Copies of this chain bind each other. A is one copy, B any other.
Amino acid sequence: MISSKEVAREAGVSQSTVSRVLNNSNRVSKENVAKVTEAMRKLNYRPNAIARSLVSKRSKTIALISGPLHNPFFVETTSSIVNYAKEKGYNTNVFFENNGDNMAVYETVLSMQVDGIILSSVFMDDPILQELQTSQIPYVMFNRKHNEGGNFVELNNYQAGKMAADHLYQLGHKHIGFIGGPMYTSTFYGRYLGFTEGIAEQTMETGKVFLNETDTSEEAIADAIFKMMGRKERPTAVFAATDAIAITAMDTLMELGYRVPEDISICGVDNVRMARHHAFELTTIGAQSNKNLGRLGIEHLINSIEAGKENMSPIQVTLEPALYQRKTTGPFKPGSV
């Protein structure tokens, strides 16, 4: 590896002069800039980013700890985050959540000297928030948030659940299944709470909610469907707490011979791009924003970073949801299933 010292020798100047032209300081004469530039070219010099960040204390990289990519929501956010960060001059170190055991990842990230952290992996009572705050590293949680607050960008999950309940109730459904992930995450918890309270408000005496708490793996979702549809009283609609779940649920349901929405209605949450595909036309609930939560999160994060520790203001954003009614929900037909 060619170092700035060798460039200096080649150019016949001191290493600090080389460093100066590297950082295009205007304190260098045109002649020396030329000599140094030429020497760099000749030696095919590339500055060592590691060394730079050791002294500058800024690595120009951020860490993303994301939910798994088999969920299209995270496909979209990951894409947005990486691209926006790049645009702003930051590299992104990507990690995927590892079924609950994120501590190893957190340890890695905290010793990596990243300039900022954006994560979707927190639990409502996750000890990581504490670590994050004492570490002084700018961070923002997206999608999920923590009980204690902190910096976050989220959807109003409670409202989303409620809207689903209203929508399905108005279509006449009485027996509704809920499929969601772990209740110690704010998204699933909020959506479930809003949903059940929405149902309750409608005073559906005869209404029933079948709760399925899964780990969001395809197998677990399929199992939930099997169990639910195997009952004597089958649901005529299911509220999937994410579009990813909805899409897998649909797959299983179709495999079992059900038609959507004729036999059973499905409503998701997140309004992912894929849900708009003609093969799905999924009814869903999502934020009224043309930027996804990842994008909003990374914008805030980078603002925070560039503002500096002194004038870092808290980030607490909750987006209001809207219903995107498409073709997977329809009116209850007696005797349909």
Give chain A's interface residues, CB within 8 Å of chain B.
44, 46-51, 53-54, 59, 61, 68-70, 75-76, 78-79, 82-83, 86, 91-96, 105, 107-108, 110-113, 134, 247, 250-251, 254-255, 273, 277-280
Contact = CB atoms under 8 A, between A and B. Distances in A.
B111 A49 contact: yes
Contacts of A94: 78, 82, 92-94
Report how many copies the assembly holds: 2
Contacts of A61: 93
A37 B112 CA distance: 20
B54 A134 contact: no
A82 B47 CA distance: 26
Nearest to A70: B79
Contact of A277 (B95, B107, B108, B251): B251
Contacts of A254: 278-279
B110 A82 contact: no
B82 A95 contact: yes
Given A54-B54, A82-B94, A69 B75 contact: yes
A68 B79 contact: yes
Contact of A53 (B50, B75, B86, B108): B50
A279 B94 CA distance: 31
6 contacts: A48-B111, A51-B54, A69-B76, A86-B96, A92-B94, A254-B279
Contact of A91 (B48, B93, B107): B93
A78 B69 contact: yes
A279 B255 CA distance: 10
A92 B91 contact: no
Contacts of A69: 69, 75-76, 78-79
B93 A93 contact: yes
